[in-house]
Each structure stands twice: as structure tokens, then as C-alpha cells.
Amino acid sequence: MSSLAPAWSGQDHILDLAWSAQGEYLAAAEVSGPIHCLDSGSGVKTWTGHQLGTTSLRWHPQQPLLASCGQDGRLRFWSPERLDPLINTEAPDRWCTRLAWHRKGRWLAVAGGKRVSFYRSDGSLALTSQAHVSTLSDLAWMPHEEICVTAGYLGLQSWRPDCEEPLKLYHWQGSSTRLAISPNQHFIATGDQDRTVHFWRSKKPSSDDSAMMSGFATKAEQLSWDSESRYLATGGSSDVCLWDCLKPGPEGRPPKVLQGNPEAFITAVAFQSKGSWLASGNELGELCLWQHAREKTPIEQWKLASAVSALAWSPQGDFLAVGCAQGEIYRLPLTRP
């Protein structure tokens, strides 16, 4: 297992990573607040981020414009050309947990407290939803529609930016902490508080049409779909599980298991954005690259300085960014298979 030198080292746990639309910038958020912006060379700019901690960041899908939110209840837009934020606005709730741009860049959805708010690309607030029964833990846009899905206690809700009330309720008696929507938007997968994974059919919100997978050693908060929407990779143990979602769906099929180090839980998984490679990392700082269609053993392994906390592939799939628990940020050049 070879070792790697980080591209940059911060001071604290890297909570989130995001590549800009053209891959020329990589943003990394420390849990304590600072945001580092690495350019394609060796330049690094550090923004103050958010007091009490940055929780989420994402680049605009067409512009070099980064949106971030945090525990201070602020939404900020950043430009690589400046140190101060372009936009600094107060969110409708006291803190924010997650944000995501719609793929066309017209809308930015922000989960704050029990509500989801929709902002325009100029930072103006368009609408704030009615309150959910509990704090929202995650959100994501449907890949081919202007519909945003949120996760929390009692399941999922879907929203439009022009309506305060939810379009659909995906109800179950439990709490979902993470969600991931397949690229063909047939499935919405959630990692749940009770150490289960749910597969919801997006067009059928009834729990009778969903599938629940159990038996995980810990919460499966690590979720990633492959680019063809066939496989969902999950953590939840020391191994990576691959769930085959070809028709009729994942029900009744045991997952394909990519065996990891039994001494460490998986902390991050990420399929290549364009290609078939899968990256995984664990709490011992072991980074693995898999060609899961052919092999059940890693095609490459590296030992990093601390536990892997975040993974992100560049838009073209030729670089893998890795964030670690002690602030290290790695940027690996890789040739797509």
C-alpha cells in the first residue's frame, strides 16, 4: 500500500469537497468553518467560511461561483477572484445543514432547520417552504426536473421552487439522514438512523413500493450511484456493498461485497462521474480504487495521513479529491478506464 503527499493541509476535519463545473477549482470545507479553494496549479485561497462551522458547499453548474452555508445561519457566495463573499445573506432559519444547485443553475436549494428555501442565482430568496415535523438532514434535486427532495424524520418530501407545500410524501416511521437519487431518477436511496437503507421508487411514494435493506453494522450514511444507475454503493460496515438495481429492482438480491479492512469502517464512497471506477475510504486512512465490474479486490490502494472524511470526483472523472479528518486534502490524477 503506497503513501501519498497531500496537495494542501488545513487545521481541521474536512467535512465537504466540491469541484467547480470545469474542474479548475476544488473547494474544501473544514468543520470549524474555513473554506480552502485550490486552483489547478498550486495556488490556494482560504475564505473565512462560517462561524460555528461550515456545513455544505457547492459550485454553480455553469459559473465559478461557490455557495456555502453553515451553523451561523448564513448563506454566502464566493468568487475565486476575491477574499470577501460576493453575497452574504441570512437564511430563514438559525442554521443550515445542506445546499444544492439545480443542474441548470437557476435555483439553489438550502435546507435550514425544518424548512427548505429556494434562492435565485443572484442570491435573492424566492420561496421558503412550510415547516417539516423535524429538522431536515439532507436534500438533492431530481436530475431531470425542477423538483427537490428532502430527508428527515418520517421519510422524504418533494418540492417545487414555486410552492410552499410538498408535492409528494414518501412516508415511513423512521428518520432518514442521507439521500442519493439515481441519475435516471428511478430510485431515491436513503441511509437511515436505524442502520437501514431504503430504496424508494420516485414515481411511487407508497412504502409498499419501497425496499428496505438491513443488517448494517453502523449507519450507512455513505451512498453513491454509478453513472448508469445500475449500482448503489453503500458503507455501513468495513466493506462496500453494491446493490444491483436493474429491473425489477434490488429486492431479493444479495449485494456484491467489496471486502475492506475488517478493523475499520468505511467512511466515504464515490463512483466516478464519467467511467466505472469506485473510490472508497475508511477510518484508518486507507483509500481504495475498485473496478467493481471485473474484480472484488482493489486495483490500487493508498495509505493517507488520517481517516478519509470526504471524496469527490472531478466533472470529467480524471481527478479524485480526498479530504481527511486532520485537514489533509489530496488531489489524485487518474486516467479514466
- Could you give the domains of the chain? 34-266 (2.130.10.10)
Is there a contact between 150 and 139 (Cβ–Cβ < 8 Å)?
Answer: yes
What is the rounded distance in angstroms from the CA atom of residue 292 to the CA atom of residue 280? Answer: 12
What is the pLDDT at residue 329?
Answer: 98
Q: What is the Cα–Cα distance from 310 to 152, expressed in whole angstroms?
A: 22
What string of DSSP letters covers 213-251?
A: E---SS----EEE-TTSSEEEE-SSSSEEEEE--TT-ST
Identify the segments of the chain with pLDDT beneath 70: 293, 336-337
Q: Which residues pair with 243 in a beta bridge?
A: 232
Give, as one character, the DSSP assignment of residue 56: E
Long-range contacts of 68-71 (CB under 8 A, 24+ apart): 68/29, 68/35, 68/99, 69/96, 69/97, 69/98, 69/99, 69/110, 69/112, 70/33, 70/95, 70/96, 71/95, 71/96
pLDDT at 337: 55
| Continuous H helices in 1-130 | none
Torsion of CA 224, 260, 324, 274, to 10 degrees: -40
The pLDDT of residue 248: 87
Amino acid at 172: W
Residue type, 12: D
Residues 6+ apart with CB under 8 A from 106: 120, 121, 146
Strands 328-333 and 25-30: unpaired
pLDDT of residue 74: 96
Q: Answer yes or no: are the C-beta atoms of 256 and 300 closer than 8 Å.
A: no
Q: How far apart are CA 63 and CA 79, in angstroms?
A: 9
Strand order, beta sheet including 138-141? 138-141, 148-159, 168-181, 187-192, 197-201, 211-213
Q: What order do you get walking across the sheet with 107-112 strand by strand?
A: 98-101, 107-112, 115-120, 125-128
In contact, 126 and 120? CB cutoff 8 Å:
yes
Q: What are 229's three cell numbers?
A: 444507475
pLDDT digits (tens, 9 = 90+) for 188-234: 999 999 999 999 999 988 877 889 999 999 999 999 999 999 999 99
Cα gap 244→296, rounded to integer Å: 15
How many separate helices (H) and strands (E) can be counted in the chain? Answer: 0, 31
Q: Indicate the residue type of 258.
A: L
